[in-house]
Amino acid sequence: MQQQLLIIYTGGTIGMVPSTEGYRPSAGINQLINSCLGEKQIAQLQPFHCLEFEHLIDSSNAQPEDWLQVAQCISQNYQKYAGFIILHGTDTMAYTAAALGHMLGENTKPIIITGSQIPMCQPRSDALSNLIDAASFARSDQVSQVCLYFGGKLLAANSATKVHSSQLCAFDSPNGQPLARADIALEFSALVPNSTLTKNKEQIDFLLKPLLKNSVAVLLLYPGISDAIIAATLLEQNTKAVVMLSFGAGNLADKNSFLMDALKKARSRGAVIVNMTQCYGGAVSQGTYAVGSTLNQLGVISAGSRTLEDVVTDLYINLDTYL
114 has catalytic annotation: no
CB 321 within 8 A of CB 314: no
Pick the catalytic residue: 13, 90, 92, 239?
13
Distance between CA atoms of residues 55 and 2, nearest Å: 31
Nearest to 306 by CA among 98, 109, 41, 151: 98
CB 216 within 8 A of CB 243: yes
Nearest to 7 by CA among 98, 111, 104, 95: 111
Distance between CA atoms of residues 236 and 262, nearest Å: 10
Any long-range contacts for 256-260 (C-beta under 8 Å, 24+ apart)?
256/225, 258/227, 258/230, 259/221, 259/225, 259/230, 259/234, 260/294
Nearest to 241 by CA among 217, 214, 261, 222: 217
The answer, yes or no, to whether the previous bond of 47 is cis (omega within 30 of 0) is yes
The alpha carbon dihedral of 25, 28, 31, 33 has a sign of positive
Active-site amino acid positions: 13
